[in-house]
Structure 1
Amino acid sequence: MICVVVVNTYKKAAESLYEKMAQFLNDAGHTVVRSDFSGSDTPFPVSEYDCAITLGGDGTVLYASRRCAPSGKPVVPVNLGEFGFIAGIRPDNWQASLSDFFAGKIKLTKRSLVKAEVVRRGTTVYVGTALNDMVLSAAQAAKIVEVDIRTSHSAFGKFKADALIISTSTGSTAYSAAAGGPIVDPDLDVLILNTVSAFSLSNRPLVLPSDIRLSLEVLPSRTQDFVLSCDGQVHIPVEPNDSIFIKKAEHSVLLAGCDSSVFYTALRSKLHWSGGPRA
């Protein structure tokens, strides 16, 4: 197999682990291609590969997932981060986990991505995807964004807030959760529409079916510069009167060792979610 190993350059542990992993993979007869991740959305150094192994946190998995989803190649995440809602393979168990993966003994979990298309004066200026979320906000702090939101069969109305978040179920534990959104089991295929500091007490998070298509029109205001952030890693300038069309992406990503047990373990251990007393 040709394995792209994505090394998060901000993680000191990733560098030392890469050397050991590269030797392990070479000894097993695999070809290793290194790809450094420093927060920017750069392409992999090769176009032909069989899997991507990430050494970092969930952010590294987000980057690799956007790269791998169109090709259908699996992502094998080794967790070197703080939370590990997506990356489920422990750094002290990576050898056994990789051996199981190559032997076909690790379950591959399919996760949906969300897709955004930005249209300006009738011309598409950006198309991209995100595993966690799309966030529309003003380019400057302490500015608001006003958006008219519609679907093909109904109008949601005008939303005025510091930011608008459209999250997948995978991303429900990220920015959306920090903004008061629901925590959704990643096996549920939904989209979550949530606001940050909305200018109305009636605004509440909405859990929507994954086949919905949202149409967002950025309304003119005193704020002139906006930005659409994809997974907090890709930032696209948006102008007043732009239309943003958001829906479930055509391609999903295959993640190794990322089933629901990883999700609930992270809730208990990382967010200290203990539930009520046991009878």
Structure 2
Amino acid sequence: MDQILLIVNTRKSTALNLAYRLIGWGKKRTIGFVAPSHESAMLGLPEFDWNIETNPVKFGVVIGGDGTFLRASRMVMDYDIPLYGINVGRLGFLVTGNPDNAEEEIEKILSGAYRIQKRQALKGSVTRKGSLVHVLYALNDLVITKGPLARLIEVESRVNDYFLSLLPADGIIVSTPTGSTAYALSAGGPILPPHVNAMVMVPICPHTLYARPLVLGSEDTISLIPKSDQKEIYLTQDGQLGYELMVKDRIDISIARDKCVSTIELKEDNYFDLLREKLQWGNVSVRQGEEDW
């Protein structure tokens, strides 16, 4: 029996209803669903054993929005489990599946009508007074940001240990290509397609005229060092987990060599069609070469 890992935003009734629908469909198709502990208890599914030596799961289905997909990505980053997202959220750059056609889309994946996109992850290492205190991985971004008060922070940035800048700003985003359409885009950063082997550093509301986003290569290391006396400075991981920083902590960020996230794309899907649809770049019915001149 094929096994599929089911990861669901259980706070959304639409996500739960779709999950129950898929479970019922799977029973008729002799497809078994397993789930992480929380979803297992909510949906009455067998709990996936993360310690099993031989992985029986063919792929994972994520039901929710991009936030649910980011949570799922951290779960599977150490496992060879590609993910397919079904969108019951809002924008949905990572969860591209249509809930109305969920069964049909899963059938296509089971038949092999898909391709795998290997998405880079960031590795962030936090060093405090010479000691390593955190090692973090993120599919979208790692962000240094200020606390709730409207006060700037100063962050020193270095690239491959060469001094780059001392920037007064609300914070700094370091993003993967996957995350370039998330927070980094809102802060004025460029869009990098997921196959581009790079990362981008984007200041948040810099108090200077010269600050610009910077694209860096896969072999580069960005080092960020808070210099402000402000007490509340944080490092956030994919906008979901936060870590308090101290002045003169050093955060070294690079493309992870040992981890990535595999995502499933149906053969008819195209990243640039997705961009046009989500960012509303003109009429989606117009295709290259089909214009009526």
> TM-score with structure 1 length normalisation?
0.89
Equivalent residue letter for 1:5? L
Equivalent residue letter for 1:93? N
The answer (yes or no) to whether the contact 1:167–1:191 under 8 Å persists in 2 is yes
Percent identity among equivalent residues?
31
Equivalent positions of 1:5-20 (< 5 A) are: 5-20=6-21
Rounded to whole Å, the distance in 2 between the matches of 1:148 and 1:214 is 10
Equivalent residue letter for 2:28? D
| Counterpart secondary structure, 1:92 | helix
Rounded to whole Å, the distance in 2 between the matches of 1:132 and 1:259 is 24
1:85 to 93, 103, 107: 93
Aligned residues: 271
- Gap change, CA 1:98 and 1:235, over 3 Å in 2: same
Aligned to 2:246: 239
Rounded to whole Å, the distance in 1 between the matches of 2:148 and 2:186 is 20
Q: Is residue 2:158 matched to residue 1:150?
A: yes
Which deviates the most, 164-173 or 141-150? 141-150
Higher relative contact order (CA 8 A, sep 6+): 1
Q: Is residue 2:110 matched to residue 1:102?
A: yes
The answer (yes or no) to whether the contact 1:72–1:252 under 8 Å persists in 2 is no
String of CA shifts for 1:46-80, please: whole Å, max 9, x gaps.
Answer: 30452321000111111111221221211121111
Which deviates the most, 160-169 or 27-36? 27-36
1:260, distance to aligned residue in structure 2 (A): 10
- Gap change, CA 1:228 and 1:25, over 3 Å in 2: same
1:261, distance to aligned residue in structure 2 (A): 4.4
Rounded to whole Å, the distance in 1 between the matches of 2:198 and 2:222 is 13
1:217, distance to aligned residue in structure 2 (A): 1.5
Aligned to 1:30: 31
1:113 to 111, 114, 121: 121
1:153, distance to aligned residue in structure 2 (A): 5.4
- Gap change, CA 1:236 and 1:26, over 3 Å in 2: farther
2:84 to 73, 76, 95: 76
Aligned to 1:66: 74
Equivalent residue letter for 2:168? K
Equivalent positions of 1:171-250 (< 5 A) are: 171-219=179-227, 221-249=228-256, 250=258
> TM-score with structure 2 length normalisation?
0.85
Unaligned runs of 5+ in 2: 40-46
Computed over aligned residues only, the root mean square deviation of the Cα atoms, in angstroms, reads 2.2
Unaligned runs of 5+ in 1: 38-43
- Gap change, CA 1:56 and 1:207, over 3 Å in 2: same
Rounded to whole Å, the distance in 2 between the matches of 1:116 and 1:72 is 22
Rounded to whole Å, the distance in 2 between the matches of 1:170 and 1:33 is 27
Rounded to whole Å, the distance in 2 between the matches of 1:260 and 1:166 is 31
The answer (yes or no) to whether the contact 1:181–1:205 under 8 Å persists in 2 is yes
Which deviates the most, 11-20 or 67-76? 67-76
The answer (yes or no) to whether the contact 2:113–2:266 under 8 Å persists in 1 is no
Rounded to whole Å, the distance in 2 between the matches of 1:233 and 1:70 is 19
Rounded to whole Å, the distance in 1 between the matches of 2:85 and 2:24 is 18
The structure with more radius of gyration: 2
The answer (yes or no) to whether the contact 2:141–2:174 under 8 Å persists in 1 is yes
The answer (yes or no) to whether the contact 1:86–1:262 under 8 Å persists in 2 is no
- Gap change, CA 1:145 and 1:25, over 3 Å in 2: farther
